[in-house]
Amino acid sequence: MNPNPQWLDTLLQPPSPITFVWTEGNVESRYSSLPDLHASFSKHTVEWEQSNTHKFFKQLLENLDITVKIDKIVCFGLGFLSNPNQFGERRSHIQHASALTIASTLANRYPYQHPIRIYAQDPRYTDLDKSFLSSVGVTVLRDPNGFLEVDERTLVFSVAPDVCVRQIVADLSRPAAMVWDTVSEDTKEKEEWREEEMWGEMVWVA
């Protein structure tokens, strides 16, 4: 019997105390066509650009005290755009619109530079999401390629991801900047674990 080469790679790797697994699977889509997704995203983009948060965000980026010329933005865990949950959909659309705001604002700071590249990594992107993101200039990457793209000229954008993106990025490289949600102090690990069904699989959570 010939062994599976993927299992051989796994067995030959040095042991790790913790393993992160991002599951990709079929998810229900809110939209049946690309024009429908475009229309919804445009609506949420207008909402975002008319908000006080957008105004403050742009001012923050325009006055960012940084000497490195950022040439790429890498986004992690911004959610899938065709989310059937209305709240999740709105949140994901506005976060992706924020990534486009970052790119356009930074591009105005470096007018003679090549266009700022935008990458996004999220295991729940649907085929429709990927087509849409490609149409607005965002390249979708599979894990771990997003992490491998991060270098000293990168801005990392991630809000409340399901994995410890900040810690992983800090271990791999030193990006030019990171846009993050509020960072709280480390809390004592919960000792009670329970088994729950998530996305059709049984997983252990604390």
- CATH code for position 151: 3.40.50
% pLDDT > 90, the chain? 47
In a domain, 199, yes or no: no
Nearest CA-CA partner of 139 in 155, 125, 153: 125
Mean pLDDT along residues 4-10: 46
CA distance 19 to 44: 36
Q: List beta partners, residue 155.
A: 73, 177
DSSP state for residue 163 in the 8-state scheme:
S
- 3-state SS class at 76: strand
In a domain, 7, yes or no: no
Residue whose tokens read 């399901």? 162
Q: How far is CA 142 from CA 17, 24, 59, 123, 205, in A?
A: 23, 10, 32, 7, 24
In a domain, 4, yes or no: no
What DSSP assignment string belongs to 24-52?
Answer: ------S-SSHHHHHHHHHHHHHHHHTSH
Q: For residue 169, what pLDDT is reported?
A: 81
pLDDT beyond 80 at 13: no
In a domain, 82, yes or no: yes
In a domain, 50, yes or no: yes
Q: What are phi and psi of 123, to 5 degrees?
A: -70, -10
CA distance 38 to 133: 10
70 lies in which domain range?
30-183
In a domain, 19, yes or no: no
Q: How far is CA 103 from CA 110, 122, 167, 202, in A?
A: 11, 19, 24, 39
Residue range 75-121, pLDDT digits in tens: 999 999 998 888 889 999 999 999 999 999 999 888 767 889 999 99
Nearest CA-CA partner of 162 in 177, 143, 136: 143
Radius of gyration of the chain (CA): 19
Place 202 in a pLDDT band, splitting at 50, 70 and 90. low
Q: What is the pTM of this model?
A: 0.74
In a domain, 106, yes or no: yes
Residue whose tokens read 């069904």? 197
pLDDT beyond 50 at 11: no
In a domain, 40, yes or no: yes
Q: How many domains does the chain have?
A: 1
